Structure formats: C-alpha cells, structure tokens
C-alpha cells in the first residue's frame, strides 16, 4: 500500500500521517488504456519517420545535382535487378504503349530508364522541402497562358482539375503550381507501409500545398476547394481500386478511374491535362487541351463522354514519352479483378481508408442506380 497526500492540506512532518489516506497501488500504477497503447506507437512511428525523412532530405539537398543523379541512377540499376515483378510490370506497360513491333532489347533499355527516372524523382522529392518557390518555378516551368487559364477560372469561381499520369517528375507538378500562388490540393493514396507513407507525405507537404488522403473526408475537401475556384490534382492513369470505367486504352481493354470526371461534372470544374517529363535541358511540361464535362440528366453518358476525352489526352501524354511512364503496377491486368477492392492493387498492405472513396463522391439526388466510381 502507498499513501497519497490529500489535496488542499499543507504538508508537514507533524501532520503527514494524518493527512494521508491509503490507495491501492493498482490505482496509482494503472496499466495504460488500450487507446493509449494504440496511439503511442503511431505517434512514435510518425515522429521517427518524419525525423529520418528530414535528415535525409537535408543531406540530399546539399548534394551537387550530378552526384545526386548519379547515385539515383545506380539505385535504379539495383532496383530493377532485384525487383523482377516490377520489372515485368514496367516492360508489359511500355510494350503495350509502344506496340508489338518493339524488340525485347529496346523494352529492356527503356525499362532501365524508367527505374532510373523513378529513382531521380525520389531524389527530387527528398530535396523538395528546401527548394524556394523561385527554384520550383524554374524546375517545372508553367506557361503564362496556362497560368492565365487557372487564374481566370478562379476569378469566376470555377475550379480546375489537373489530370496527370505517373509521368516524369509528377510529384513536382503540384508544388510548381502552388509555388505560382495558385491554391492547390492533391489527393495522395497509401500504397506502402504507414511508416514510409508518413515519411513521403512529410516530404510532399511543402510550399502551402494541401495534401489529402482518398478517404471520404479528403474527397469532401477536394470538392469544397473546387467549388471555391481552387485547383486539385488527380493522377488518372491507373485504377488502383480496379472498379473503374472499362476503356480501350492503347488498344487493349482495362479500367481507368472516373473519379476526376465525376467530380468535374458535379462541380463544374475545368480539366487541364498536364504531363511533366525530363527533357534534354531539364524538366518540361506538356499541356493538353482543357475540357469540361457535360452535365445532363444522363449521368452515365456524361461520365462516359468525359472518360473518352480524358483517355485520349492520356494516350497523347504517355505516348509522347513512354520511357518516362513510371508506373510499376500493370495497367492491363492479366485477369479481371474483383468488382470492388478496399485497397490499391499492388499495395503491400491494405489501407483502412481506401475503398471508402466511392461512397463520398458526389451524386445527384436522382442517382438511384448507385453508379460506382
């Protein structure tokens, strides 16, 4: 038994024995609650992930560009050698884009370039937090005409959806837009362990760009931003949930995610296809023709028409630089997937958030058919 002082009574040697009352030791040394035991590891994991990311980020920022790219290239060479599944996926993807006449040695060369490109992208991501807005703007130049389209839409209260692919330095695109003073929100889903995801999200969360997960709350934030005339970014070249719209993409059947099209239809947002890539003298940007999604009484027809336009823009952007398509999942699956998945295909772990996005997407009152994303 232990003695505890009674609150409000002055402590002294004379009254110590009289002003105490016994309490069971179990009341004092209680076991942590279940909630505490769950939250504490999460907090420690997050702090450790962000601390490691910050240290490595600073080291990479100090590296000369040539040294950083050289290390990234060697890492890419090791990566392709020891990840045969990703290597096979990449070769299958670019083989479909480039056509049957492409030889196997050509595909292997381009696959190696893709792995190196992805490693260089990670190097850019590591130093991202330490770049100034001026440096970001110079890295991924956005034309005055394209910026004028975004700002004009903002002035009239119309949102803009930047639809992009896993092309070149796609992580830098949203930050380059935000660095121009344009309000930017990006949806980023978790396809890795939570530890790595926390580190990567910490690196991406810079330059006043808002990051949300594809949970119902995140989707609502995107819709709210678009209705306020802001910009939102979507990566639309891969259907992580495998429950999207059936499309003939580069001549072969697959599915593509219709979320950007459906949200554009319901919010009236303008869609701007943008595809960054690494050019001879630095990063460049290809911008497809902007378009809007019609909103009639036939939601199926509206979404289908919008998806056809989006697919055409994707084929233009990816087809121009297939050796920079850094998608490591198969865009064309071997067999049909289950109709609904609660985590992205290719993810080593299921996410408790993913899979609820479909229920959060906006629907008109008369949409009783339950059209899925």
Residue 159, helix vs strand vs coil: coil
Write down the residue that tokens 């850094």 correspond to: 326
Name the nearest CA neighbour of 149 among 258, 261, 274, 260: 274
pLDDT surpasses 60 at 233 = yes
Residue 198's pLDDT is 84
pTM of the predicted model as reported, rounded to 2 decimal places: 0.78
> 233 near 189, Cβ under 8 Å?
no
Sequence ranges of the domains in the chain: 48-360
**H or E element at residue 314:** helix 299-320
- pLDDT tens, residue by residue, 156-180: 999 999 999 999 988 889 999 999 9
Mean pLDDT of 11-38: 46
Write the DSSP symbol of residue 189: -
Residue 341's pLDDT is 52
Residue 335's pLDDT is 60
Write the DSSP symbol of residue 281: T
Of 203-207, 247-251, 363-367, least confident by mean pLDDT is 363-367
Cα separation, 281 vs 283, whole angstroms: 7
Residue 41's pLDDT is 55
Cα separation, 154 vs 165, whole angstroms: 24
Of 134-138, 212-216, 302-306, 342-346, least confident by mean pLDDT is 342-346
Residue 201's pLDDT is 83
- Taking phi first (over 0 means left), then psi (-120 to 50 degrees means alpha), and beta for anything else, what does residue 364 get? beta
* Per-residue pLDDT band at 343 (split at 50, 70, 90): very low
Residue 26's pLDDT is 45
- In the chain, the percentage of residues whose pLDDT exceeds 70 is 78
Higher pLDDT pick, 63 / 343: 63
Mean pLDDT of 79-106: 96
> 329 near 347, Cβ under 8 Å?
no
Residue 29's pLDDT is 42
- Taking phi first (over 0 means left), then psi (-120 to 50 degrees means alpha), and beta for anything else, what does residue 63 get? beta
> 107 near 95, Cβ under 8 Å?
yes
* Per-residue pLDDT band at 191 (split at 50, 70, 90): low
Name the nearest CA neighbour of 291 among 261, 266, 259, 263: 261
């Amino acid at each position: 038994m232990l003695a505890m002082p009674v609150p409000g009574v002055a402590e002294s040697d004379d009254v110590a024995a009289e002003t105490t009352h016994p309490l069971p030791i179990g009341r004092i040394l209680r076991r942590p609650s279940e909630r505490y035991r769950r939250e504490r590891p999460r907090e420690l994991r997050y702090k450790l992930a962000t601390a490691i990311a910050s240290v490595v980020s600073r080291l990479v920022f100090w590296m000369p560009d040539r040294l950083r790219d050289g290390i990234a290239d060697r890492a890419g060479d090791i990566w392709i050698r020891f990840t045969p599944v990703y290597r096979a996926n990449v070769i299958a993807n670019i083989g479909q884009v480039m056509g049957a006449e492409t030889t196997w040695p050509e595909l292997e060369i381009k696959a190696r370039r893709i792995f190196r490109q992805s490693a260089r992208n990670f190097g850019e991501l590591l130093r991202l937090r330490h770049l100034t807005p001026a440096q970001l703007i110079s890295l991924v130049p956005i034309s005055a005409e394209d910026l004028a389209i975004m700002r004009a839409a903002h002035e009239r209260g119309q949102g803009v959806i930047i639809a992009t692919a896993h092309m070149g330095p796609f992580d830098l695109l949203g930050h380059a837009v935000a660095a121009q003073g344009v309000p930017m929100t990006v949806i980023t889903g978790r396809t890795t362990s939570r530890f790595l995801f926390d580190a990567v999200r910490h690196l991406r969360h810079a330059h006043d760009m808002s990051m949300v997960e594809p949970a119902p709350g995140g989707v609502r934030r995107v819709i709210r931003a678009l209705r306020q005339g802001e910009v939102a970014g979507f990566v639309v070249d891969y259907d992580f949930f495998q429950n999207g719209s059936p499309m003939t993409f580069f001549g072969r059947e697959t599915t593509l995610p219709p979320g950007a099209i459906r949200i554009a239809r319901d919010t009236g947002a303008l869609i701007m296809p943008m595809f960054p890539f690494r050019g001879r003298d630095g990063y460049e940007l290809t911008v497809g023709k902007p378009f809007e999604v019609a909103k009639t009484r036939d939601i199926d027809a509206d979404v289908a028409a919008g998806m056809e336009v989006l697919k055409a823009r994707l084929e233009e952007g990816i087809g121009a630089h297939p050796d920079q398509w850094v998608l490591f999942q198969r865009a064309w699956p071997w067999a049909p997937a289950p109709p609904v998945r609660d985590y992205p295909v290719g993810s080593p772990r299921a996410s408790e958030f993913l899979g609820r996005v479909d229920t959060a997407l906006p629907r008109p009152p008369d949409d009783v058919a339950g059209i899925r994303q």
